[in-house]
Amino acid sequence: MSQILLIEADDTLRKIIKLNLMKSIGCDVIEKQTAKDAISLLQILPDIDLVISREIIGTENTGLTIANYLEKEASAIPLLIIGNKISTYNHVIAVEANQSWKNITNVACKVLGVVIDPDVNRIVADYVPVGIHYFLNITSTSSIGCDVYIRVKKNEKEFQFVKRLHSKDMFSRADILKYKESGLKEFYISKEHFTKFVNFVTAELVAQLGRAKLEGVDRALLSSEAYEVTLDRIHSLGIDDLTIELVKESIYSMESSLQEKNNLAIFLKTLKANPLSCAYAHSYLCCLILHKVVAHFDWESVQVKEKLTYAAYFHDISLKDISFMEINAIKELENSKLSEEDKKIVNNHALLSSAIVERFPNIPAGVITIIKEHHGSKSGIGFPEILSISITPISMMFIVVEHFVDEFLKIKGTPSSDDLKKIFLMLGKRYNKVTYQQTFVALQNMTQHKKKQVS
Instruction: List, in sequence order, the alpha helices (H) in 95-240.
Output: 101-111, 173-181, 194-209, 216-232
- The residue extents of the domains of the chain are 3-125, 126-204, 210-454
Print burial letters for 395-426: b (CB count within 10 Å at least 16), e (below 16): bbbbbbbbbbbbbbbeeeeebeeebbeebbee
Residue 305: predicted pLDDT: 95
Contact 124, 26 (CB under 8 A): yes
Give me the pLDDT at residue 100, please: 72
| Ranges under pLDDT 70 in the chain | 1-2, 26, 113-125, 154-159, 212, 236, 273, 449-455
Per-residue model confidence as pLDDT tens digits over 86-111: 777 888 888 887 777 778 888 887 77
CATH number 3.20.20.100 is the correct assignment for the domain at 3-125: no
SS3 content of the chain, % helix, strand, coil (to 5): 55, 10, 35
- Res 454: pLDDT: 35
**In degrees to the nearest 10, what's the CA dihedral of 418, 424, 428, 433?**
-170
Give the strand pairing for 186-190 and 127-131. antiparallel
Instruction: Give the pLDDT of residue 122.
Output: 41
CA-derived radius of gyration, the chain:
24
So what's the pLDDT on residue 263?
A: 84
Q: Which residues, other chains included, contact 256 with Cβ-Cβ below 8 Å and sequence gap of 6+?
A: 214, 215, 219
pLDDT in tens, 310-335: 999 999 998 877 778 888 888 888 88
- CATH level 2 (architecture), domain 210-454: Orthogonal Bundle (1.10)
DSSP 415-445: PPHHHHHHHHHHHHHH--SHHHHHHHHHHHH
pLDDT of residue 201: 94
CB 124 within 8 A of CB 191: yes
